[in-house]
């Protein structure tokens, strides 16, 4: 049996640095009153998480201005060594509507899946939680 | 720029098989009326996802019988090749309360993090969604 680990909390700065260091994460939202989650590639720009989505997936078509509270999670976890980290940000997701900003983000962020993904969404973190799995001795 | 991919839907059987083939995923739930997500190791037993959690995290302490609608996501995605798969199940999470079942699952499923994680939770999938990223030509 592999040894258990302790959790070491990451500072907000370090958590956002790690989130920016990986190409994709998982956006967590509510859809038809059910918890929903989708893997998606992302950028961290000016401390905000930028993703692309199909209209009506993360942000409902009906809400104007389009905004919703979401979470975004990314991790690098090694299940064999049981080491690694995870970062979760929670905040308001808003549709980017300024045409110049939309164009800039579409230039920087290419969806993995062809077709659609025409909404550019910006998530402003209100809470940033990051932790690292560390050997039990190292945490004390 | 890396080529875009098509999404190929996985059958429910294949999706559950892949979910069972990896040691951890991410449970998605609602906490304090906010979307929440935690990486956690899991088992698939008799078509249900079994996880362990600290009391009050995934299932509120106040709800009796303790149950909530949650999602559980696992993936194996290669960001460089843009290939891989993701499976998302949505269903009711219930506390396992039968002492023999609790003992059996605790024997089979060891939390990565030491201490606590004393709740054993069973998620019965109501919806199973799985997809695979495939080269554009292969999907047509």
Give B33's pLDDT tier (boundaries 50, 70, 90): confident
Q: Is residue A116 part of a domain?
A: yes
Q: Is residue B129 part of a domain?
A: yes
Q: Is residue A78 part of a domain?
A: yes
Q: Is residue B140 part of a domain?
A: no
What's the per-residue H, E or C state across chain B? CCCCEEEEEECHHHHHHHHHHCCEEEEEEEECCEEEEEEEEEEEECCEEEEEECCCCCCCCCCCCCEEEEEEEEEEEECCCCEEEEEEEEEEEEECCCHHHHHHHHHHCCCCECCCCCEEEEEEEEEEEEEEEEEHHHHC
Interface with A, mutate which of B23, B27, B28, B72 (most A CBs under 10 A): B28
| CATH number of the structural domain spanning residue A60 | 2.30.110.10
Q: B-chain residues within 8 Å CB-CB of A26?
A: 26, 37, 73, 75
B8 has a chain A CB within 8 A of its CB:
no
CA distance, residue B127 to nearest chain A CA (Å): 11
Q: Is residue B127 part of a domain?
A: yes
Smallest Cβ distance to A35: which of B4, B24, B35? B35
Q: Is residue A97 part of a domain?
A: yes
Q: Is residue A124 part of a domain?
A: yes
The 10s digit of each residue's pLDDT in B73-121 is 999 999 999 999 999 999 999 999 999 999 999 999 999 988 778 899 9
Q: Is residue A1 part of a domain?
A: no
The 10s digit of each residue's pLDDT in A72-131 is 999 999 999 999 999 999 999 999 999 999 999 999 999 998 877 889 999 999 999 999
């Amino acid at each position: 049996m592999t040894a258990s680990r302790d959790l070491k909390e990451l500072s907000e700065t370090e958590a956002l640095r790690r989130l920016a260091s990986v190409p994709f994460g998982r956006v967590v939202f509510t859809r038809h009153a059910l918890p929903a989650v989708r893997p998606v590639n992302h950028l961290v720009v000016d401390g905000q998480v930028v993703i692309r989505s199909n209209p009506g997936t993360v942000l409902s078509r009906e809400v104007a201005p389009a905004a919703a509270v979401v979470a975004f999670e990314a991790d690098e976890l090694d299940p064999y060594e049981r080491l690694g980290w995870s970062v979760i940000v929670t905040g308001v997701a808003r549709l980017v509507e300024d045409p110049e900003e939309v164009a800039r983000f579409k230039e920087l962020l290419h969806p993995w899946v062809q077709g659609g993904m025409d909404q550019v969404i910006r998530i402003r973190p209100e809470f940033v939680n990051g932790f690292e799995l560390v050997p039990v001795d190292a945490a004390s």
